[in-house]
Amino acid sequence: MSVEIPKAYEPSQVEEKWFSQWINAKAFHANPSTVNEHYSIVIPPPNVTGVLTLGHVLNNTIQDILARRARAEGKEVLWLPGTDHAGIATQSKVEKHLRDSEGQGRRDIGRDSFLERSWEWKEKHGGIIIKQLKKLGCSCDWERERFTMDDDYSKQVQNCFVHFFNSGKIYRGKRMVNWCPSSLTALSDEEVIMKPQQSKLYYMRYEIADREGEFLEIATTRPETLMGDSAVAVNPNDDRYSELIGKKAVRPFPRAEIPIIADEHIDPEFGTGVLKVTPAHDKADFEIGIKNDLEIIDVLNPDGTLNALAGEEFEGIDRFEARELVSEKLDEMGLLIRVEEYENNVGYSERADVPIEPRISMQWFLNYPKVSESTAAVSDREIKFRPERWA
């Protein structure tokens, strides 16, 4: 009896057949009691917020190659699969689904119902991702599949955290973070999407203290943070302003005298070469503030509205509305010189698609002891970064 061979390769039939045979034969099952050399990979768990991306496919293909090679070398291999709850990223997806399908938000349906919807989302999309990994033929130990909110997993995370804290390897401190005013959470740099945007550059005047009628011209894209200014900075090599270093300028509102300082990071070619320093609302300004022991004045609430430190007339107003109101007040005071169109890159929250805020927040940090060795390896070019600017 002859068997007709398909003219074209039919992956669905061939791959499903062989993968099923591998699973039934426990070909990927790891035996921890074996005497063979152990080889382990913990899969970077994909988020349960959708489907696998091309990046996931590439990453897991590389891991699969490493795992299969190790088995061929006689090693006992554990490639541990799982998915990640993704926290607020999942919350954002569920909220969007609620708005699109039912016209409701999480507060409309209540906490318990929203948690129930979130678990339903996890069961649906987490299952899709696992099926896709299996379709790729990933040789994971599927009997050991994990989810990052499994009870025993969560307990071990807590135990490790307490252990590291008690041993002094974890500490808490105030740092400048990428803050999402919509999700109300800090974001990693990878969760910030830079987008070109047509903005405005506001040119305004700060009076020089004890010099009536003399002003410094300052250019900024963010007049709404003016109330948090604690200094004015110029480049020490800029002859236009060198004689003013050490003197004071007058912040118009709330009215206060603030120092005129020198910092080499100030670009004399940008705007007027004079920078308003707002340590609580800009990463570069924060570093300048720490270096010069400047007052840190946070004028924004977590949701992006202005707080009481911004003054009674601006308290509770959204940051973008406040931008226009502050510029109008400067104009009324005769301190707004002009406004120019300006194209710049603005960081957006990947989760909520709103402009992020650089914000000082209490965060946890790992006190990693071997940074000097790693730094030396990069300096000596034992490790090379591409592109090199990330080194």
Domain ranges of the chain: 11-149, 190-364
Architecture of the domain whose range is 190-364: Alpha-Beta Complex (3.90)
Taking the C-alpha atoms of residue 180 and residue 118, their distance in angstroms, rounded to an integer, is 21
Residue 13 has pLDDT above 90, yes or no: no
Taking the C-alpha atoms of residue 178 and residue 356, their distance in angstroms, rounded to an integer, is 6
CATH topology assigned to domain 11-149: Rossmann fold (3.40.50)
- pLDDT the model gives residue 370: 64
Q: Name all contacts of 157-163 with Cβ < 8 Å and 24+ positions apart.
A: none
- pLDDT the model gives residue 67: 98
- Among candidate residues 83, 79, 25, the one with its CA nearest the CA of residue 49: 83
- Among candidate residues 65, 347, 53, the one with its CA nearest the CA of residue 193: 347
Q: State the average pLDDT over residues 4-9.
A: 82
Q: Categorise residue 229: left if φ over 0, alpha if ψ from -120 to 50, beta otherwise.
A: beta
- pLDDT the model gives residue 256: 97
Residue 336: strand, helix, or coil: strand
Taking the C-alpha atoms of residue 367 and residue 170, their distance in angstroms, rounded to an integer, is 6
- pLDDT the model gives residue 318: 98
- pLDDT the model gives residue 369: 67
Residue 303 has pLDDT above 90, yes or no: yes
- pLDDT the model gives residue 325: 98
Let me know how long the chain is.
Answer: 391
Taking the C-alpha atoms of residue 208 and residue 228, their distance in angstroms, rounded to an integer, is 18
Q: Do 11-149 and 190-364 have matching folds?
A: no
- pLDDT the model gives residue 391: 63
Residue 36: strand, helix, or coil: coil
Taking the C-alpha atoms of residue 208 and residue 370, their distance in angstroms, rounded to an integer, is 48
Higher pLDDT, 49 or 71: 71
C-beta of residue 191 within 8 angstroms of C-beta of residue 96: no
Q: Within 10 Å of residue 209's Cβ, how many Cβ atoms?
A: 15
- pLDDT the model gives residue 95: 86
- pLDDT the model gives residue 307: 98
pLDDT digits (tens, 9 = 90+) for 142-185: 999 999 989 999 999 999 999 999 999 999 988 899 999 998 98
- pLDDT the model gives residue 1: 58
C-beta of residue 300 within 8 angstroms of C-beta of residue 306: yes
- Among candidate residues 335, 300, 329, the one with its CA nearest the CA of residue 313: 329
Q: State the average pLDDT over residues 219-224.
A: 96
Residue 102 has pLDDT above 70, yes or no: yes
Taking the C-alpha atoms of residue 295 and residue 291, their distance in angstroms, rounded to an integer, is 11
- Among candidate residues 135, 120, 150, 137, the one with its CA nearest the CA of residue 45: 150
C-beta of residue 48 within 8 angstroms of C-beta of residue 82: no
**For the chain, how far is it from start to end, CA to CA, in angstroms?**
65
- Among candidate residues 159, 234, 219, the one with its CA nearest the CA of residue 342: 219
Cα 283-357-89 angle, rounded to 5 deg: 120
Q: What Å distances lie between residue 314 and 280, 306, 319, 323, CA to CA?
A: 17, 6, 9, 10
Q: State the average pLDDT over residues 208-222.
A: 94
Q: State the average pLDDT over residues 60-73.
A: 98
Range with the poorest average pLDDT among 73-82, 318-327, 334-343, 361-370: 361-370
Q: State the average pLDDT over residues 351-360.
A: 92
C-beta of residue 275 within 8 angstroms of C-beta of residue 233: yes
C-beta of residue 215 within 8 angstroms of C-beta of residue 204: no
Q: Name residues whose C-beta falls within 8 Å of residue 252's C-beta, 6 or more positions apart in sequence.
A: 206, 207, 226, 330, 333, 335
Taking the C-alpha atoms of residue 326 and residue 124, their distance in angstroms, rounded to an integer, is 48
Residue 193 bridge partners (DSSP): 348
Q: State the average pLDDT over residues 284-310.
A: 96
Q: What is the mean pLDDT of the chain?
A: 91
Taking the C-alpha atoms of residue 254 and residue 20, their distance in angstroms, rounded to an integer, is 71
